[in-house]
Amino acid sequence: MWHRAYLYYFELHARKTLGDPTFSVPYWDYKASLESRKLPAIFAELKVDGVGNPLLPLGGLDRDLGGFSDSLDLDDVDTNAVMGNDYFFSEPGIEGMGNEIGFGTSMDAKPHGSIHGGIGGWMGSVPTAAFDPVFWVHHANIDRLFNVWLGKRRFWSRTMPKSEVQAWLAKSEYTFYDASGQPESKSREFFLDQKNLGYVYDSDPSVISIPEFPPQPVIAVATHAGTNSMGVPKEIMGFSEKSAGGISAPVKVSAASGLVVQIPLAVPPEAPGVPKGNIPMAVTNQLSHKNNRTILELSGVKKAGELGGNYGVFVGPDAETAKDTSSPAYVGRFSSFEAPDEGGSEAGATFRFNITSQIAKLGAKSLGKLNVRIVPMPRSNQLGAAGKPGSLVVTKVEVKAATASTDPLK
């Protein structure tokens, strides 16, 4: 909702400056075609009408996505997971579209963060992103995609009480300056109501005469028949998690070669039918119930320099030899866009990946360590292709055994 507010106030100022009350920021639909994954030409031209292009940032970091031939990776613009998510809020093991960065099922992770990382330069870091004019057409598309998501029957939460959702909507958390320069703070509910914003998108259901747009998501109940984008069945209300192995010493992901680290996997205490020291906890947890799963968590992630970028994560015996994202060892990607700089006081970012299928392939065989590879992902699924991401520091790499529960978890 913060992004929508930011765009709203930017447009108020732009309308006043231009003297045009109808002005609105166009959106960049980078998923429409292969050609649309290239930077729009107006942002790449060196000169416009014989003078320097004001939409080409100068004096800062160069974009990684440049010229007229480079294009964003298909995986960076993919919205299938986001649009397939029924819920806005995350709960333990129930990924939300609005606020679960780690799994890539949130809009904040992809395409929002992945586009920032794919473009790079000023766009690759939070403090400088808005210095690049392409920021605004990117955010207009994120805003449009939120409307697309709202246009389907969606739910605020699977188990959150209605009073908590209403309190969240009523809160005025953001302060911006209006067109006259006065500070102003409006509720989240204000920005959810399209009538308050002064614009519509050509993809909005209201354009094709569906009344009362956008529809308000509702509070889900335990009998809701849907699943989230990771296929969690309706009877599962959440997951409790236990550490199943990890390393806590900070490791560095090189901008040139990435990182391969071996995670020692913990074994469960001796139990009937499970000899101590034989089968890793991650494996026994998955074998004990079909809905249990295993999560890889990278936490305390910080940029070791000003350059941001996108990184792929590969897990299992084939992680070191994987050549591209078609490998079964590939579990997903993340952007360092929102990761703070190393040396600052901010806590590092956290990213989570579902590695259930990779663990399942190990079966019940004895395995002491799990290979995890983190590697820069340039503008191609082909590892080692051209790109300019920076280095990272990861404070902790942990494997977690997630046990499904039919009761809501808080």
pLDDT, one tens digit per residue, over 227-270 is 454 567 777 777 889 999 999 889 999 888 888 999 998 887 65
pLDDT value for 408:
67
| pTM to 2 decimal places | 0.86
Average pLDDT, the chain: 82
- β-partners of residue 298 are 351, 397
Residue with the two structure tokens 């309706």: 234
Domain residue extents for the chain: 2-219, 238-405
Interior angle at CA 361, CA 360 and CA 363, nearest 5: 70
How do beta strands 310-315 and 238-247 pair? unpaired
State which of 7-16, 93-102, 114-123 shows the largest mean pLDDT: 7-16
Tokens of 74: 């298909």
pLDDT value for 242:
92
Say yes or no to pLDDT of 208 above 60: no
User: What distance lies between CA 2 and its chain's CA centroid?
Assistant: 15
Residue 329: band (very low, low, confident or very high) from pLDDT cuts 50, 70, 90: very high
If you average pLDDT over residues 113-126, what whole number do you get?
89
Q: How many CA atoms does the CB half-sphere of 152 hold within 13 Å?
A: 13
Cα dihedral angle (402, 403, 405, 409), rounded to 10 degrees? -40
If you average pLDDT over residues 304-311, what whole number do you get?
81
Tokens of 318: 């084939």
% of the chain at pLDDT higher than 70: 83
Q: Which CATH number fits domain 238-405: 1.10.357, 3.30.420, 3.10.450, 2.60.120?
A: 2.60.120
Which one is predicted more confidently, 290 or 229?
A: 290
Q: Are the beta carbons of 91 and 157 closer than 8 angstroms?
A: yes
CATH of domain 2-219: 1.10.1280.10
Which one is predicted more confidently, 34 or 66?
A: 34
Q: Are the beta carbons of 132 and 102 closer than 8 angstroms?
A: no
Residues 6+ apart with CB under 8 A from 355: 294, 295, 296, 315, 316, 331, 399
pLDDT value for 182:
95
Q: Are the beta carbons of 147 and 214 closer than 8 angstroms?
A: yes
If you average pLDDT over residues 276-294, what whole number do you get?
83
If you average pLDDT over residues 82-106, what whole number do you get?
73
Q: Which H helix or E strand runs over 241?
A: strand 238-247
If you average pLDDT over residues 84-91, what whole number do you get?
80
Say yes or no to pLDDT of 117 above 60: yes
d(CA 315, CA 351): 14
Q: How far, CA to CA in Å, does 370 sit from each of 82, 243, 261, 278, 403?
A: 29, 14, 8, 15, 20
In the DSSP assignment, the letter for residue 24 is -
Cα dihedral angle (386, 391, 396, 402), rounded to 10 degrees? -30
pLDDT value for 193:
82
d(CA 246, CA 234): 31
Q: Mind listing the pLDDT tens digit for each residue in 124-170?
A: 888 889 999 999 999 999 999 998 888 776 788 777 778 888 888 89
d(CA 251, CA 260): 10
d(CA 410, CA 407): 10
Tokens of 271: 């139990």
In the DSSP assignment, the letter for residue 388 is -
Say yes or no to pLDDT of 224 above 50: no
Say yes or no to pLDDT of 314 above 70: yes
If you average pLDDT over residues 308-328, what whole number do you get?
88
Can you state the angle between helices 134-150 and 2-18, rounded to 10 degrees? 130
Q: Are the beta carbons of 295 and 285 closer than 8 angstroms?
A: no
Say yes or no to pLDDT of 225 above 60: no
